[in-house]
Amino acid sequence: MPQQPTARRLFSYALVYKFRIICALLILCCAVGAELAGPYITKTIIDKHLSTDTRELLPVLGLLGMYLGLLLTASVGNFVQAYILQSTALQIIKNMRMDLMRHIQRISLRYFDNTPIGQVVSRIANDTEAIRDLFMSFMATFVVSLVQLTGIFTALFILDVRLALFCLLLPPLFALIMKIHLKYSKGFISIMRARLSDMNAMINESIVVMPIIQAFRREKVTLDEFETLNQDRYVNQIKQFKVFSLSSRNIVGTIGSLVTAMVVWHFGQESLQSAISFGVFYAFIDYLGRIFQPIIGIFDQLTNAQRAFVSAEKVFAILDMDGTEVEQTDNVRRPEGTVKFDNVTFGYKAGEPVLKNISFEAGKGETVALVGHTGSGKSSIMNLLLGFYEPNDGNITIDGRDIASFSKQELRKHMGIVLQDPFLFAGDIKFNVSLYNENISLDRVKSALRDVGAASFVEQLPNGYDEPVVERGSTLSAGQKQLISFARALAFDPSILILDEATASIDSETEGLIQQALKVVSEGRTTLVIAHRLSTIREADQILVLHRGEIVERGNHDELMAIEGRYYKMYQLQKGEQASPVISSG
């Protein structure tokens, strides 16, 4: 199905509030009409009451009163229409941001694998803000200008048909100038938006890895890379500004001055041949001067409009990506938890498999451990089980049902996961365990923290379970964050528990607490463990040794030690060098 043009898609967002927008534009037309009536009233006062022998005060006062009334009407109308249009524009952008945020949660993880976080943030924050200017400023300016030009030319034809016909050449001339302006400035604006996105991405990455940057003395290199992006954006901003300066107020002002001089010359010549009304002369010059105000207004908003369209194209590019609908899971049956991989082959890139013919089964209540060197495919198995990616070949089942037939939410509802690098959200301790799940009470939160051995340190915090957690939990130690993430998984009472290097970043004392807790919580659950420390999986029911995407050994600890193969060598190496980083997430 072909994609709709950007302008039409933007219009569809505005169409939701068509009555409010039409009302605001009608009020705007009335306000503009009231403003345009001013010069004609002034012309009437000059010609009929100041340029004749008539000195009646009441008609003049009446016309002045009408003039002031129209000014007041225009002022009130402009305020009302501006409020309606701006509040509507904010509502439109609010809806667009929510659509974007909802869709981002539906998109495959492959997109986030290849896209810097800062670019995604830029789409939601900066690009939608640029689109707001289109609805808030350009739309109002364009309508105002159109109404003003229509009214002005109507008045000019009433005053002097020949000059009005001559002035009709101005709109096509300015339209040509605008076309040239748009042609040259769009490229500069596209580069400016792209560099802003790149800068956001780099800033985000730099903040996240600041300890690494400082530890390896990369401050200057990072600054130089940012300066390159910043300089490129600056250069294109200057080029765009030059185009804007030459083709907007500068050229419009020059043409306006020349046309005004010609009109003054024309009326001066007319006055030598016949009596000409000074009021007509005043009104024509006044209206002529007003022709250039809406033109300049449109030029001033062209940059905002172009920026909005460039940003809209980027936003709609994300909205056009395939996504999976987020479904309700209130009535999803709790699975027994038997997991089976049957001849599964998978690769992140076509033709480059990271898993080859993987087959194993983990029954209810069993613990299956995955071990292997970096890149052996351990984490890829977990990613497939969680539905983050689809296998290229083979199938994965839970209780005999292919996980491809599950919705993503149904699949993950009864899974718990603890990562090697635990993530804590900004909030407090109890929120980071319950994640505002209505089915998880405070007592259950406390119980989960107690089971993993975290209650002792949490209760010693100044605010206990209400202790604030800053972004990424940087005020807590790695072990404390890991214990909280363990409590989070346990509080959700999963049928399938996934531990991805969950004990790799904690000290031996904390590891002992977690191991003790796991003996209790693993009972009756299927537990899959990616193991870094082989000593932690000695009690596993089955250990799978992976090498280059294939299972090369399988069995329990004693069986694998007896055959003295790859697992035996890794275990002996770790036993002799407890701090060795040989085994890590793959």
Q: Give per-residue pLDDT as tens, 176-235.
A: 887 887 777 777 888 887 888 788 878 877 877 787 788 777 788 888 888 888 898 888
Share of the chain above pLDDT 70, in %: 85
Mean pLDDT to the nearest integer, 300-308: 78
Mean pLDDT to the nearest integer, 265-278: 58
Residue 285 and residue 77: Cα distance in Å, rounded?
26
Residue 581 has pLDDT above 60, yes or no: no
Residue 78 and residue 4: Cα distance in Å, rounded?
34
pLDDT, residue 12, reads 87
Most confident of 193-207, 337-351, 487-501: 337-351
Give per-residue burial for 310-325: e unless 16+ CB within 10 Å, then b: bbbebbbebbeeebee
Residue boundaries of the structural domains of the chain: 6-319, 337-413+536-586
For 101-104, the CB contacts below 8 A with 24+ separation are 102/326, 103/318, 103/319, 103/321, 103/323, 104/318
Residue 430 and residue 444: Cα distance in Å, rounded?
10
Write the class of the CATH domain 6-319. Answer: mainly alpha
Residue 504 has pLDDT above 70, yes or no: no
Residue 3 has pLDDT above 60, yes or no: no
Q: Strand 496-500 and strand 526-530: pairing?
A: parallel
Averaged pLDDT of the chain: 80
Non-local (6+) Cβ contacts of 500 within 8 A are 379, 382, 417, 418, 419, 420, 530, 585
Residue 467 and residue 428: Cα distance in Å, rounded?
5
Residue 123 and residue 100: Cα distance in Å, rounded?
9
Residue 551 and residue 355: Cα distance in Å, rounded?
9
Q: Per CATH, which fold does 337-413+536-586 belong to? A: Rossmann fold (3.40.50)
pTM above 0.85, yes or no: no
**In the chain, what is the straight-line distance between the N-terminal and C-terminal CA atoms, in Å?**
39
Q: What would the pLDDT profile of 361-370 be if each residue is shown by its tens digit?
A: 998 889 999 9
Mean pLDDT to the nearest integer, 71-88: 86
